[in-house]
Structure 1
Amino acid sequence: MWSNLPFDVLANIFSFLSPDSLARARSTCKYWHLCSKTCYSFNLNNQQPWFLALPIRNHKPCFYAHNPDLNNWYELSLEFLPVPVRAVSPIGSLLLLKISHSTTLQLAICNPFSRQFRYLPQLNISRTNPAVGVVVLNQGVQFPSFRIYVAGGMSEAAQGGATYEPTTEMYDSEVDEWQIVGSMPVEFAVRLTVWTPNESVRIGNVLYWITSARVYSVIGCDVSTNTWKEISVPMAERLGFATLVGRDGVLGLVGGISGGNSCVWEMEEGDIWGLKNKVPSELGWKLLGGNSNSNNKRNWESTKCVGNDEAICLYRDLGSGMVVWRKVRDEEGSEWEWNWVEGCGCIKGKKVHNCSIRGILIHPTLASSIF
C-alpha cells in the first residue's frame, strides 16, 4: 500500500514526521527520498521542541540534540560551518549565530539539520558585545520573516578611543539590510554591553533583556516607539541565576533563590511579578547533584535555563540531566508538568565527553530554505 500512495499524499504524511524519522524514511527508496525532499514543513502543533546542546569551548565541531518525543540524544556535526560560532537565538527552525573569532559583532544564520549557512550583512556601526534581540513577524512557520535588533556595544569614537554606542540598529530579513532606528540612554547602553547576555525575550512590541549589574534587573525596549524602561526583579539580591522566558505572550522569569527553591514568576499588570510555580524539591536536588536529606544549602549559580511557549529547561552541563517544565496536550486541552530528562552520557553505546553547553529550544527541520 505504501509504495502505491500518490506523491502529494505521501508528502503530507511525511510533513508530520520529526527530522530523525524523516531521515530514516529518506533512506527507504528513491521514491521516498524524492518525496521527502519536497516536504517543507511538519505540524508544529504536534511536535515538541528539541533541546540543542551546543558546547561552549574546547570541543570538536558538533552539537547534541534531544528529541523529547522519543527521549533520544543525537550527535550532529557542525563541520559544515566555515568559522567558529556561538548560538544567539532560534528563529523559527533556524539558528541565529555570532561569529566567535570576530572582535566586533558579525551575525549569521544556519539550519544545523540541513547544513545550510549564510552570513548576514555587516552592521552600519561596528560594535563589540552589544545586546541582540529577535522579533519574528510570522510565528508558527519554519522559516519566518524576522527582524534583529542590536543595542549598545562598544564602538570606536572619531578621536580614536572606544566608547559606548547609545544607538539601536535593526536588520529586516525582507530587505536584507541594517538601518539605525533610534537612540537609547547611555546608562542602558553600558549595562547591556557589560552585564547582559546576548539573548532576549520578545513580548508584543517589547524586547526584554536581563542584566546582572550589582543585582538582577530587566531592561525593556518598545521597538515600535523606541521607548526604554527598567523593571525590578523579584528577590534580585538573593538569586543565584535568573533567566527571562516567554510563556503564551507573557513575560516570565526563572530564578534560583540561594539556599532555597528555583521559581517561575510571570509579569502581571503594572509590571508586577507574580509567583507562578516552583521546581519540585526532589528535582532541584537531583539537578544540583545533592541530597534532599542533607543540611547543605542549594547553590544555583551554576544553573542555566532556556524556555519558550512550550517548555522551560533548567540544566548545568551536557551530562548532568535537566529539569523540564513542559506543556502536555491531550484531548481536554493542555497543562504543564515537571519532568526529569537524563543527560547525554552516551550515544549508540559510545561515551560522550561531558562539557559546558549553551541550550537552545527549536523545532528542527530537514527542509531546504532560501535565506
Structure 2
Amino acid sequence: MWSNLPLDLLAAVFSHLPADALAAANSTCRTWRAAADCAAARGGHPPWFLAVPATRGVSGNRAFVYNPIRLTWHVLPQINTAPIKAVAAINCGLVLGKFSGGSSLKLVVTNPFTGQFKPLPELTVARINPAVGVVDFSDSSSAVPRFKIYVAGGMSADARGGGAAYQPTIESYDSSSHTWATAATMPAELAVRLTVWTPHESVYSNGTLYWMTSARAYSVMGFETATKKWRELSVPMADLLEYAALVPTAGGGLGVVGWTSGTATFSCRIWELGDGEEWRAVGKVPFEMANKVFKNVESWSAVKCVATKGMVCLYRGFGIGILMKFKDCGEFEWEWIEECNRKEFENVPIKGLLLYPNLGRSAFCFR
C-alpha cells in the first residue's frame, strides 16, 4: 500500500514524523528518501538542543544535538569547510551563522542536518560587531522559509586604524528578495550601545525586535519594525542581576531570565512583560535544579541561556543545562538534560540553539 501512495501524499505523512523517525524512513528505499527530502517539518514535536563549539576549529566544524524524545546525543558531521559561528535559529530547521574569518560581518544560512549552505549578500555598509536579530514569518505550511534579518549599529570597517566610527543605521535582509536595504537611522548613542554591549540574541514580539544591553544596569532596546521607532525598557532587578537574557514566552510575549548571587546562595527567576510595560514574575528555577547547572562555575556568566517560543534552556558546556517548558497555566515543567559524553570537548565553550530539525532539502538554499 505504501509503495502505491503518490509522492506528495507520502511526503505529507512524513512531515508529521519526528526527526529521528524521518531519518529512519529516509534510509528505507529510494521512494521514501525522495518523499523525506520533500517533507516539510511541522509542529507538535519539541525542539532539539544544538551545541556548536564557540572556539574556532576545535571540533572541525562538527555540531552536537540532543534528541529530547529519545534522550540521546548525536554528532552531526562537518557542516562545511568554512569557519562559521552560529548566531541564531531560524524556523524550518535553518541556522543563521557568521563567518569567523575577517572583521566585517558576513552572514550565512545553513541546515546543520542536511549540510545545505547559502552565503547571504554583502551588507550595504561594512560593519564590525553589530547587533543581529531575526524576524521569522515562516509557519508549518510554508514551502519556502520567509524571514528578515536586521543588523543594527556596528563600527565602520575602515575605522580600525583611527578613531571609532559607529554606524547610526539599521539595515534588513529580506529572504524573499535576497537583498539588503537600509531600514532606518538611529541616535549615535544607541549605535554605540548596540555595538559594544549587545549580544546577538534577540526576541521579536508584537511588531518589535528587542535586544538586551549588558552594560550595568541591564536594559532592553526595542526597534518597532513598522514605525521605525526605538524604545527602551527597564529590566527587573537590573542592578542586582549577574546575568540576564531575553526569551520569548509561550504566548508570543517578551520575557527575561536572570540570576542573582549572594554570599551563600543564588536565585534564577523568569519575568514576563505585561500591559503597561510592567514586568511580573512568572517562575523560579528550583534550587536543587539550579545547583546542578551553577555548581562549581568560575563565573556566573559561564552559564548561558537560549530560548524558543515557550521554552528556555540554561546550559554550561556540552549538555549541562535545564529545559524549562512554559505551560498554558503559567507554570513550568523542569527537565534535566544529561551531559554529552565527549571528554575531548569537556571544557570547550559552546553556542547553544533550540532548533526544530528539518531533514528535507530547504528550497531557500537553492534560490
After TM superposition, the score normalised by the length of structure 1 is 0.88
CA contact (8 A) 2:135 2:204 kept: yes
Could you tell me how far 1:328 is from its partner in structure 2? 6.5
| Partner residue, 2:218 | 216
Q: Residues 135, 128 of structure 1: CA spacing in aligned structure 2 closer, same or farther, 3 A cutoff?
A: same
Could you tell me how far 1:37 is from its partner in structure 2? 2.6
| Partner residue, 1:50 | 48
Q: Residues 180, 8 of structure 1: CA spacing in aligned structure 2 closer, same or farther, 3 A cutoff?
A: closer
Number of corresponding residues: 353
Matched letter for residue 306 of structure 2:
V
Matched letter for residue 340 of structure 1:
W
The whole-number CA distance in structure 1 between the counterparts of 2:221 and 2:34 is: 48
Matched, 1:360 2:356: no
Matched, 1:149 2:142: no
| Partner residue, 1:250 | 253
Matched letter for residue 363 of structure 1:
Y
Could you tell me how far 1:9 is from its partner in structure 2? 4.7
For each residue in 1:271-292, what CA deviation from the matched residue of structure 2 results, as whole angstroms up to 9, or x when unmatched?
A: 21111100011001111226xx
Q: Residues 163, 141 of structure 1: CA spacing in aligned structure 2 closer, same or farther, 3 A cutoff?
A: farther
Moved more, 243-252 or 142-151: 142-151
Q: Which runs of 5+ in 2 are unaligned?
A: none
State the identity as a percent.
44
- Show the 5 A alignment for 1:325-364: 325-327=324-326, 336-346=332-342, 353-354=345-346, 355-364=348-357
For each residue in 1:198-235, what CA deviation from the matched residue of structure 2 results, as whole angstroms up to 9, or x when unmatched?
A: 12111121111111112211111112111112111111
Matched letter for residue 341 of structure 1:
I
For each residue in 1:235-265, what CA deviation from the matched residue of structure 2 results, as whole angstroms up to 9, or x when unmatched?
A: 1122111110011211000001123210000
The whole-number CA distance in structure 2 between the counterparts of 1:179 and 1:35 is: 37
Could you tell me how far 1:19 is from its partner in structure 2? 2.3
Matched letter for residue 322 of structure 1:
G
Matched letter for residue 186 of structure 1:
A
Matched letter for residue 85 of structure 1:
I
Could you tell me how far 1:31 is from its partner in structure 2? 3.1
The whole-number CA distance in structure 2 between the counterparts of 1:298 and 1:69 is: 32
CA contact (8 A) 1:205 1:222 kept: yes
The whole-number CA distance in structure 1 between the counterparts of 2:291 and 2:326 is: 22
Q: What SS does structure 2 have at the residue aligned with 1:237?
A: coil
After TM superposition, the score normalised by the length of structure 2 is 0.89
Matched letter for residue 81 of structure 1:
N
| Partner residue, 2:200 | 198
Q: Residues 327, 271 of structure 1: CA spacing in aligned structure 2 closer, same or farther, 3 A cutoff?
A: closer
The whole-number CA distance in structure 2 between the counterparts of 1:102 and 1:272 is: 42
| Partner residue, 1:294 | none
The whole-number CA distance in structure 1 between the counterparts of 2:35 and 2:90 is: 26
CA contact (8 A) 2:89 2:353 kept: yes
The whole-number CA distance in structure 1 between the counterparts of 2:101 and 2:278 is: 40
Matched, 1:128 2:128: yes
The whole-number CA distance in structure 2 between the counterparts of 1:334 and 1:211 is: 27
